[in-house]
Structure 1
Amino acid sequence: MTPARSFTHALAERFARSAGDTALLCPDPAGRTTGHRYAELDARARTVAAALDARGAAGAPVLVATGGGVDTVAALLGCLYAGAVAVPVPPPDTSRAAAERTAAIAAETDAPLLLTHSAHAPEFSRRLSEAGRGAVVCLAVDNLPEAEGSWAPPRVQADDTALIQYTSGSTAGPRGVRVTHANLLATMEALRRALGTDRTARIGGWLPLHHDLGLVGQLLHPLWLGATAVLMPGELYAADPLRWLREVSRHGVTVTAAPDSAYARCLAAVTDADLADLDLGRLAVAVNASEPVSAVTRSAFANRFAAAGLRPGALLTGYGLAEATLLVSVGRPGEESTATTVAANALERGLLAPPEPGGPVRTLVGCGRPASVTVRIVDPVNSAVLPDGSVGEIWVRGAAVAAGYWRRPGETATVFGATTGSGETGFLRTGDLGALLEGELYVTGRIKDALLVDGRTLHPQEAERQLARSGAPFGSAVVLAAPAERAMQEEIVAIQEVHGAGWSPRQLADLADRVRGCLHGEFGAETGRVLLVRPGTVRRTTSGKVRRSLMREMYLRGDLRPLHTEPPQEGQSP
């Protein structure tokens, strides 16, 4: 690629060279697919840019709240073409919580404009007015007059903010990550090198465009390459996880990505007849990222879908976060992801050590080598850099690391300006725990998720997977630590969804005992409290991660309405 002053300049040059090529394929729930060429995207972006220019939006945050497809792409590109700062937020017709999130983002960014569809503009105006943001102007991207006259790239530089990417809020309140043009350009090059992508690629998936993996990885990257993006509506996957793989097969997608839970759902749903109808032979890269990866899921998916043509080495494991724009590390295409089995007791003490004869073990999946960034494993208390095989906080430094949080100077200084004990500066503190072993990065959990029990550090994700695998009637679960009612310490709390109805008190008590037994087998520790709840109680982000901090807050506030609690809470019958 020719060096560009900004990401916008790079896109404009690519669009001019690829005007007649297919830029987007947009499947719909009815099974139809609409194609769009680069020339059309360029024209649509100019139309949106002209409307933003007329309202003096250059340099200002602009909320993008559209339902997906080409209008969303036009809105995002139009912000870049106008030199505005795109702020993707949840689309219309989502939950009340998503609407509240949009209102909170509108307040924090002080955005003067919101781009949406004409059908949803009145509702957004009403909701924003109720939230005290009545001055926000809602523009319908599907009802703008065509741009007149010539368009000139905005006067933006590499260090200017291109977009504000809000974090998922899985362990803390959502924060706006300020992504610059230089961050995007560095990420594009890192993705190209790591995944071997070029303009012949077809990159697609169902992750929403207000999620960093959906926006940066599955839309902006293929457009930067001059390749084809296949944007699948998220509701297709939500209704039927195999629809994701059917669209991959139907459109010859070569690169896709999703969280571990998506691969697990496909495994649970697929039949031999489904496999016979799938052709995954053109899929060169399928990245498993966005949440801790299960060795069982990775291996089982690779084996099961080999019958549909999935290539050996196509299933890669990756790690990244919005604060690094997207990518930190990923496996190499064509090579099996590295997995290592370690002693469970040593892992609880923060070490990756070989298993002891007859002792408990954990299998960890490597997330590849750092991709164009420097990674250090650091003691989160004293900032000392830890040796190979030691578990600590993952610190990252590089051109793709974002400029900081929007209007949060204190948090920006703490999170983005860390200095190691040996004097290395400019590191991002990820809040994630992991280790480097022979150059491979292993992610073990998050600092805020870790459960400290009897001097041991326990990670809840594997226990939650074990509960999900333990069979009917168990659904999703979340395991967390909370203050014990009658002791000056924390206890393990398990919140377990239960499918079905008509359970007797005795049956529910037996199910709670099953949960306790599973967690005791996993942790070797007693569970303080078990809550059995209805399906849908466990809150998740758009990418499928458990919103652990929210679940903990709901538990502490007493907002959960359990079917059964063991031991009974005060005022509850045994």
Structure 2
Amino acid sequence: METLVAPPTSRTGEATILEVLLRHAASTPDRVAFRFLAGGDVESDSVTFGQLADQTRALALSLHASEEMGACVLLLLDSGLAFIKAMFACMYAGLVPVAVDLPRPNRPTDRLEAIVRHSGCRALITSKADLPRVEKLIVAVPALAALECHLVDTATAGPIAGTALPRPAAGHAAFIQYTSGSTSTPRGVVVTHGNLMSNQVQIKSAFEHDEHTKFCGWLPMFHDMGLIGNVLHPLYLGIECTLMPPAAFVQRPLRWLDAISRYGATTAGGPNFAYDHCVSRIAEAEIDRLDLSGWRAAFSGAEAVRASTLREFARKFARAGFDPTAFLPCYGLAEATLLAAGHSRFGRAEPVVLRVDRAQLEQGRLRCADPAAGAAAGVELVSNGPPAPDQTIFIVDPATVQPCAAGEIGEIWLAGPNVSARYAHDAERTQSVLHARLPGCEQRFVATGDLGTLWSGELLVVGRRKNLIIVRGRKIHAEDLEHLVGRSHELFQRNRCAAFAVQADAAGEESVVIVQEAVRRPRSEAEVRQALAGALDLIAEHFDLVPLDMVLVLPGTIPVTTSGKIRHAPLRRAYLAGEIMPAPVREGSAG
């Protein structure tokens, strides 16, 4: 039976993250909590623990005077210090913050509108800087007009005495985290203060953090990895954190590594694509200015962790002092607050990479590949590490709802104090997903929808249930196919390939369609034919598969979630409706 239960770890005395902030403000009021690099290069603002407590209390008093305790409040703010202040002010006032992506001009607003209506928010918080964009959004999302608007900037600075504010308890909602919705409609995960504090303890233990830890991040704060990993956890530890806007990293990834180097960060990370982005966009001549020798926890999560990416990053930045034992592949999800599996190996070992037999994997079994077999016969899987402390992991057969045998692929089920007990306003999903139970077992699990197995006490994630493609009885994980294609030609954009199943004939036989984004407009039809032919040859070699269709499209065609994950379902619908157009070549370049 595939199950792992991690031992418990020590806890602090505080029941909420707000109490932790107040302790740090009392004991180390002048210590820098957060510094912000607005352009990614130069420090534009900073706040100490004492200032943060005073300023959030001032805003909390304003909110408390006009909003009912327990009400949901929408945070419509770009990532920055104003966002952090608004988050804590809501907690201080006994309100429940709902963080969302503030859409750029002329970008879709359907997700925002759905969250506004679903969450039942009564008010919103923004800043003077973001207010013009919010006012324009009201035209596209009329539901925003009904919300009372509060500005972070207008609260009176400094400590204010004489007004009692409610103190939330461990069982109260800390915030609602809307999932990114890569395979379904976004869900509002209710994260309690107890869930949050439990996960802080788990992260500290798994990452081996202490009072000397320093953070540096760029992840969006409305996303769980950015909010909990890069904002709330550094605050929990009482240490400094250097932050920059996501766009600053995307435009020039050197800014992130340069900030790690300048400020001596020991913990920094992101999804797999962030490391790919650094490899492809940072010039060799720029590496000599970096000192990455102090980087102890280079975490990678939120999407499949690729062994090839880890190797390429470690090779490129070795001369900057990067130690590959700093890599910390991890696994988590909003329903588990954030972290569920992963552990530091710094100074001891590099991440575990298992080369498994491709044919066995397609049959739902994990078996090591024959070392004598060719490259196409094996698949590299990176271990996501052991369960976090207090975390129980079962591998379950979705068809029988029984635990899988050792080495069998099944759905990952989790239980622990960090696991949310409900979705906001969604009793049906709460029961089916967050209250999953094994036969004869009263313990409550979250059925994650992810597929994986346990190997020597560590979790291996192989894909999503809903992204599984079954062709002639073989189970092909879309993520493996997409990874192979995305790296097969310089014209292809890495991490922007989507594979999905369609009905190939009247008999109902399924086949595969692949949509791949180009990094630029193709120079000629010949370049497109060469790129597609090379990819199809690799697919045939590695998967013994001939796709029904493969389409090269312009950048931005493939829909993604707010965290960058591919949205397969709407892309498949657009393809079947004939809405996916091949990328045109440059004028006068056909042939």
TM-score (structure 2 length as normaliser) = 0.91
Q: Distance in 2 between matches of 1:543 and 1:131?
A: 22
- Aligned mate of 1:61, from 48, 72, 87: 72
After superposition, residues 139-218 of structure 1 pair within 5 angstroms as: 139-146=150-157, 148-150=160-162, 152=164, 154-218=166-230
Q: Is residue 40–residue 248 contact of structure 2 (8 Å, CA) maintained in 1? A: no
Match of 1:137 in 2: 148
Q: Does 1:468 align with 2:468?
A: no
Q: Which amino acid counterpart does residue 187 of structure 1 have in structure 2?
A: N
Shift of 1:544: 3.0
* CA shift in 2, pair 1:101/1:385, >3 Å: same
Q: Distance in 1 between matches of 2:174 and 2:85?
A: 15
After superposition, residues 221-370 of structure 1 pair within 5 angstroms as: 221-334=233-346, 335-356=349-370, 357-358=372-373, 360-370=377-387
Q: Does 1:118 align with 2:121?
A: no
* CA shift in 2, pair 1:122/1:136, >3 Å: farther
Match of 2:545 in 1: 525
Q: Which amino acid counterpart does residue 113 of structure 1 have in structure 2?
A: A
Match of 1:85 in 2: 96
Q: Is residue 66–residue 92 contact of structure 1 (8 Å, CA) maintained in 2? A: no
Shift of 1:500: 4.4
- Aligned mate of 1:74, from 85, 90, 113: 85
Q: Does 1:382 align with 2:382?
A: no
Q: Distance in 1 between matches of 2:379 and 2:40?
A: 44
Q: How far does the alpha carbon of each residue in 1:170-216 deviate from its partner, in whole angstroms, 9 at most, with x for none?
A: 11121111000000010010011111112322112111001100000
Q: Which amino acid counterpart does residue 358 of structure 1 have in structure 2?
A: A
Shift of 1:354: 2.2
Q: How far does the alpha carbon of each residue in 1:6-48 deviate from its partner, in whole angstroms, 9 at most, with x for none?
A: 3322332233222111100111216221322111111111122
Deviates more, 1:525-534 or 1:473-482: 473-482
Q: Is residue 124–residue 138 contact of structure 1 (8 Å, CA) maintained in 2? A: no
Q: Which amino acid counterpart does residue 122 of structure 2 have in structure 1?
A: P
Q: Does 1:445 align with 2:463?
A: yes
Match of 2:452 in 1: 434
Q: Distance in 1 between matches of 2:385 and 2:165?
A: 37
Q: Is residue 388–residue 438 contact of structure 1 (8 Å, CA) maintained in 2? A: no
Shift of 1:261: 0.9
Q: Is residue 539–residue 551 contact of structure 1 (8 Å, CA) maintained in 2? A: yes
Match of 1:572 in 2: none
Shift of 1:151: 5.4
- Aligned mate of 1:560, from 575, 580, 587: 580
Q: Does 1:127 align with 2:147?
A: no
SS of the aligned residue for 1:279 comes to coil
After superposition, residues 509-520 of structure 1 pair within 5 angstroms as: 509-520=529-540
Q: Distance in 2 between matches of 1:502 and 1:189?
A: 50
Q: How far does the alpha carbon of each residue in 1:125-175 deviate from its partner, in whole angstroms, 9 at most, with x for none?
A: 453464341211222212234474345452322111110011111111211
Q: Distance in 2 between matches of 1:224 and 1:291?
A: 25
Deviates more, 1:351-360 or 1:393-402: 351-360
Q: Does 1:396 align with 2:414?
A: yes
Q: Does 1:490 align with 2:513?
A: no
Shift of 1:504: 5.0
Match of 1:569 in 2: none
Q: How far does the alpha carbon of each residue in 1:462-519 deviate from its partner, in whole angstroms, 9 at most, with x for none?
A: 3222222222222232111123365523320111123444655565444433332232
Shift of 1:55: 1.0
Shift of 1:424: 5.0
Q: Is residue 40–residue 244 contact of structure 2 (8 Å, CA) maintained in 1? A: no
Q: Which amino acid counterpart does residue 108 of structure 1 have in structure 2?
A: H
Determine what percentage of the aligned residue pairs are the same residue: 34
Q: How far does the alpha carbon of each residue in 1:32-67 deviate from its partner, in whole angstroms, 9 at most, with x for none?
A: 213221111111111221121011242011111112
Q: Is residue 65–residue 92 contact of structure 1 (8 Å, CA) maintained in 2? A: no
Q: Is residue 59–residue 152 contact of structure 2 (8 Å, CA) maintained in 1? A: yes
Shift of 1:363: 1.4
Deviates more, 1:365-374 or 1:487-496: 487-496
Match of 1:406 in 2: 424
- Any unmatched runs of 5+ in structure 1? 566-574
Q: Is residue 26–residue 230 contact of structure 1 (8 Å, CA) maintained in 2? A: yes
Q: Is residue 265–residue 294 contact of structure 2 (8 Å, CA) maintained in 1? A: yes
Q: Is residue 14–residue 225 contact of structure 1 (8 Å, CA) maintained in 2? A: no
Match of 2:475 in 1: 457
Q: Distance in 1 between matches of 2:502 and 2:245?
A: 37
Q: Distance in 2 between matches of 1:96 and 1:363?
A: 37
Q: Is residue 125–residue 136 contact of structure 1 (8 Å, CA) maintained in 2? A: no
Q: Does 1:23 align with 2:37?
A: no
The structure with higher relative contact order (CA 8 Å, sep 6+) is 2
SS of the aligned residue for 1:184 comes to helix
- Any unmatched runs of 5+ in structure 2? 1-10, 586-591
Q: Which amino acid counterpart does residue 540 of structure 2 have in structure 1?
A: H
Q: Distance in 1 between matches of 2:412 and 2:519?
A: 38
Q: Is residue 206–residue 244 contact of structure 1 (8 Å, CA) maintained in 2? A: yes
Q: Does 1:36 align with 2:36?
A: no
Q: Is residue 15–residue 226 contact of structure 1 (8 Å, CA) maintained in 2? A: no
* CA shift in 2, pair 1:140/1:514, >3 Å: same
Q: Distance in 1 between matches of 2:283 and 2:526?
A: 35
Q: Does 1:48 align with 2:59?
A: yes
Match of 1:539 in 2: 559
* CA shift in 2, pair 1:301/1:130, >3 Å: closer
Q: Distance in 2 between matches of 1:184 and 1:501?
A: 45
Q: Which amino acid counterpart does residue 125 of structure 2 have in structure 1?
A: L
Q: Distance in 2 between matches of 1:366 and 1:130?
A: 44
Q: Is residue 515–residue 530 contact of structure 1 (8 Å, CA) maintained in 2? A: no
Q: Which amino acid counterpart does residue 115 of structure 2 have in structure 1?
A: I
Q: How far does the alpha carbon of each residue in 1:261-307 deviate from its partner, in whole angstroms, 9 at most, with x for none?
A: 11111112233322211111111110011101111111222232221
Q: Which amino acid counterpart does residue 168 of structure 2 have in structure 1?
A: V
Cα root mean square deviation, aligned: 2.2
Q: Which amino acid counterpart does residue 186 of structure 2 have in structure 1?
A: P
Q: Which amino acid counterpart does residue 176 of structure 2 have in structure 1?
A: I
Q: How far does the alpha carbon of each residue in 1:422-472 deviate from its partner, in whole angstroms, 9 at most, with x for none?
A: 535301000000000110100000001111111111112232222222222
Q: Is residue 343–residue 388 contact of structure 2 (8 Å, CA) maintained in 1? A: no
* CA shift in 2, pair 1:153/1:281, >3 Å: farther
* CA shift in 2, pair 1:78/1:95, >3 Å: farther
Q: Distance in 2 between matches of 1:5 and 1:151?
A: 22
Q: Is residue 488–residue 535 contact of structure 2 (8 Å, CA) maintained in 1? A: no
